[in-house]
Chain A
Amino acid sequence: MRGERLAPYVLVAPAILIIVALRLWPLALGVNFSFTGDGDRDGAVVGLDNYIDLFRDPLFQTALRNVGLLVLLLPIAVAIPGLLATFIYLRVPGHRFFRSVYFFPAVLSPVIVGAIFNLLLAFDGPLNAVLGTVGLGPVDWLGDPDVAMFAVVGVHIWATFGMALVVFLAGFATLDGALLDAARVDGASLPQVIWHVIIPGLSRTIQFVFVTTMIGMLTSMFGLLYVMTSGGPEGSTYLPEYFIWIQQGQMNRPALASAASTVLFVIMLVVGLLQLSLLRRAVKES
């Protein structure tokens, strides 16, 4: 009897041990480390000093503002693949061709994408040459602090929307074709079809894409930033990840980097929990 009672614990023990030893324990060590000092104060307990430093640092403030900007740009990052998937689903001419072409950038590594766009967006590069032929002044895409972040986010969306497009197409496969036919018979226009039939029918898919796109934006922009702007110009394209890397590797301040990592962890935790609750509510509704 007792053996039977213990069995489930024994069975889950390996999984729990792995999670505790390889995830939670290092996490705790990292948090612990963020309360110690750097340089001359290496190893000494400094309380919240690192966190105070962090929130006074204009670069970290910029990094947090940029996280906010990413959240604001999220609807665009979701709408683009959604709209394109709709057109493919409605069988615009050449839809088979577009389906494969749109997915293509998703297989390129961020470093390659960054290198390609470095060339395209260079001050004396082809994009500015094209703008020049139609009489528009050159834009310093990666050198103007007001433009650079949007340029990088635009490239990130270009590079990753293929995956979301595939998820949308899978969602369309579950859409009831009879509803679309009915809407057409009733004389609904394309915008009306999208608004009243497709969006409600795909609400779960849309929410899923929102969650995955958000996570992608917050965690996988490092490669692009590293290659395209190095956090510049004027520090305008810093994200928390990049800040952590610079402090750890270049400034020799690992404890401050740990504090920044902890803040990023908390942000991700909050964003993740909010999105989970959103998803759960959506599942209940349907």
Chain B
Amino acid sequence: MKQRALWSAVLIAVLAMSGCGSASGPKEADKGSNGGKLVVWDWKSGDATAASYIKKAKADFAKSHPDTTVEFVAQPFEQYYTLLGAAIQAGKGPDVMLFNGGGQIRDRVDSLVAIDEYIAGDKQRLAGWDAFGKAGKTYAAPVTLQGHPIYYNKALYKKAGLNPDSPPRTWTEFLANCAAIAKAGAKCFGQGNKEGIGIQFFMSGLGSGILTPKEYDDWIAGKRDWQAPGVKRLFQLWKEVSDAGLNTDGANSTAMFNDAFAQFQSGKAAHMIGLMSDIGHWKDFNEFLKPENVGVMIAPVVTDGATPSLPYDGGIGYAVAKWTKDPKLAADLVRSLTSTDALASFYADAGAIASDTTIDVSTAGPAVATIVADLKSGKPALHVALSSKTIDLMGRLSQQLISGSVTVDEALKQLAASDKPA
């Protein structure tokens, strides 16, 4: 018994002393690229659809750097940022790594090199840089573009007696269409908000028709006023759409990936705010509904004076780690990973809208043609500008708005408090 008491005392002493101990932040570069080797982390290179993309990028890089070997390490996406966080903490991460645009990369720029001086030659050719920048510096080169077109099922439009080739331009017209579609036995929106993603798609997909151009630009510039009339209207609309039964049933327990998309693909819902790349996009929908039945519309005008546009940003992009030995070499690899040739295969095999706007997409069906045509006038998506913390809170509040346990005013108050710069 005495022994046990002694050991407990030792344990407690150790724990207590460690409390006043020193801090352990990330250590400066002690490893990184060894010799002529670059290590790349991503969650794509293991996919069969990305094989020819990686091959072409590697070949392009080998042309100028024949002595450097490149190793791709594919991590599982669900754990990617957890693993990356641990590697950053230890200062022993890869030289080049893949990031999602927006909050994920902005939260981690402390560990990255600004690559502006290396990629100046690509600035014109590629689109979607904003999602990888912070405070005027660029930290990654975009590979794909990600955005939120509003897809609609032309077959359902026909069935409901609507003209599939003239999508609604105003919210009133949109609601009238939804009423006709309801009579034809389908819901208006395919909705999945189990992970809180539904509100993100809704915000970005419809936002440009709700916020005035000034409100929109201020929002993207970081001057977000959560009490602005347009912002308030957006959240009211989210609740109204749900209350009016326009969403598919059980939105809060339906996963956006991929149950909500499945509802659209099986014709249970006429509209779906989807994605442009990777998943839940034109390529998936084309397979199920046939390319001629997949339409893309620009957001209907809810507020007078709003100018609807296609919301999109850089989707995924490669960044260079601070601890790499030769940032120029790593940046060259990033340039190879975003070369026209490599990106053309990524577009063709993986079904992504690539960041390179010079790629020919005329064979992929009308939906893609509409999306690419809308890119020029497009603007960054609203939700991408938010921090992961605010996004997480917004997801939970959006569920509460649907269930009625929080009011729009209360939700906006909480979001404004969360969105304050730390």
| A contact set with B: CB distance below 8 Å | 24, 27-29, 31-33, 35-36, 39-40, 42-45, 121-124, 138, 140-145, 148, 229-230, 232-235, 245-246, 248-252, 254
The 10 closest A-B pairs by CB, nearest first: A43-B25, A123-B250, A143-B253, A249-B82, A143-B252, A32-B18, A28-B18, A142-B253, A36-B23, A233-B252
Q: Which of B187-209 contact A (CB under 8 A)?
A: 194-196
User: Among B25, B195, B249, B400, which residue has its beta carbon within 8 angstroms of that of A124?
Assistant: B249
B405 at the interface (CB under 8 A from A): yes
Closest to B252 in A: A143
Closest to B387 in A: A251
Q: Which of B4-24 contact A (CB under 8 A)?
A: 11, 14-15, 18-24
Q: Is the CB of A141 within 8 A of B388?
A: no
Rounded to whole angstroms, the CA-CA distance of A42 and B85 in the bound complex is: 13
A273 to chain B, nearest CB (A): 10
| Contact A32 to B19, CB < 8 A, known contacts A232-B196, A252-B85 | yes
15 CB < 8 A contacts A-B: A24-B11, A29-B18, A32-B22, A36-B24, A43-B26, A121-B253, A124-B249, A138-B249, A142-B194, A143-B194, A144-B252, A144-B403, A249-B85, A252-B107, A252-B108
User: Among A31, A44, A123, A234, which residue has its beta carbon within 8 angstroms of that of B396?
Assistant: A234
User: Among B24, B25, B249, B399, which residue has its beta carbon within 8 angstroms of that of A123?
Assistant: B249
Rounded to whole angstroms, the CA-CA distance of A140 and B253 in the bound complex is: 7
Rounded to whole angstroms, the CA-CA distance of A37 and B19 in the bound complex is: 13
A195 to chain B, nearest CB (A): 37
Q: Is the CB of A28 within 8 A of B249?
A: no
Q: Is the CB of B25 within 8 A of A42?
A: yes
Q: Is the CB of B403 within 8 A of A145?
A: yes
Closest to A121 in B: B253
Q: Is the CB of A232 within 8 A of B195?
A: yes
Rounded to whole angstroms, the CA-CA distance of A230 and B107 in the bound complex is: 22
B392 at the interface (CB under 8 A from A): yes
Q: Hey, which chain B residues are within 8 Å of A36, CB to CB? A: 23-25
Most buried by A among B11, B259, B396: B396
Q: Hey, which chain A residues are within 8 Å of B89, CB to CB? A: 254
Q: Is the CB of B24 within 8 A of A31?
A: no
Q: Is the CB of B392 within 8 A of A251?
A: yes
Q: Please encode chain B, from 255 to 289, with 1 for each CB lying within 8 Å of some chain A CB and 0 for all others.
A: 00001000000000000000000000000000000
Q: Hey, which chain B residues are within 8 Å of A24, CB to CB? A: 11, 14
Q: Is the CB of A32 within 8 A of B107?
A: no
Q: Hey, which chain A residues are within 8 Å of B23, CB to CB? A: 35-36, 43-45
| Contact A33 to B81, CB < 8 A, known contacts A123-B249, A141-B253, A234-B399 | no
A146 to chain B, nearest CB (A): 9
B389 at the interface (CB under 8 A from A): yes
Rounded to whole angstroms, the CA-CA distance of A251 and B253 in the bound complex is: 23
Q: Which of B396-422 contact A (CB under 8 A)?
A: 396, 399-400, 403, 405, 422
B110 at the interface (CB under 8 A from A): yes
Q: Is the CB of B400 within 8 A of A32?
A: no
Q: Is the CB of B252 within 8 A of A140?
A: yes
Q: Is the CB of B19 within 8 A of A35?
A: yes
A24 to chain B, nearest CB (A): 6
Rounded to whole angstroms, the CA-CA distance of A33 and B249 in the bound complex is: 45
B212 at the interface (CB under 8 A from A): no
Q: Is the CB of B396 within 8 A of A232?
A: yes
B319 at the interface (CB under 8 A from A): no
Q: Is the CB of B250 within 8 A of A124?
A: yes
Q: Is the CB of A250 within 8 A of B392?
A: yes
B363 at the interface (CB under 8 A from A): no
B79 at the interface (CB under 8 A from A): yes
Most buried by A among B22, B108, B194: B194
B177 at the interface (CB under 8 A from A): no
Q: Is the CB of A248 within 8 A of B85?
A: yes
Q: Hey, which chain B residues are within 8 Å of A233, CB to CB? A: 194, 252-253, 399, 403
B254 at the interface (CB under 8 A from A): yes
B401 to chain A, nearest CB (A): 10
| Contact A33 to B400, CB < 8 A, known contacts A28-B18, A248-B82 | no
B251 at the interface (CB under 8 A from A): yes
| Contact A230 to B194, CB < 8 A, known contacts A28-B18, A249-B79 | yes
Q: Is the CB of B422 within 8 A of A245?
A: no
Q: Hey, which chain A residues are within 8 Å of B81, CB to CB? A: 249-250, 252
Q: Hey, which chain A residues are within 8 Å of B107, CB to CB? A: 39, 252
Closest to B196 in A: A232
Q: Please encode chain B, from 92 to 114, with 1 for each CB lying within 8 Å of some chain A CB and 0 for all others.
A: 00000000000000011010000
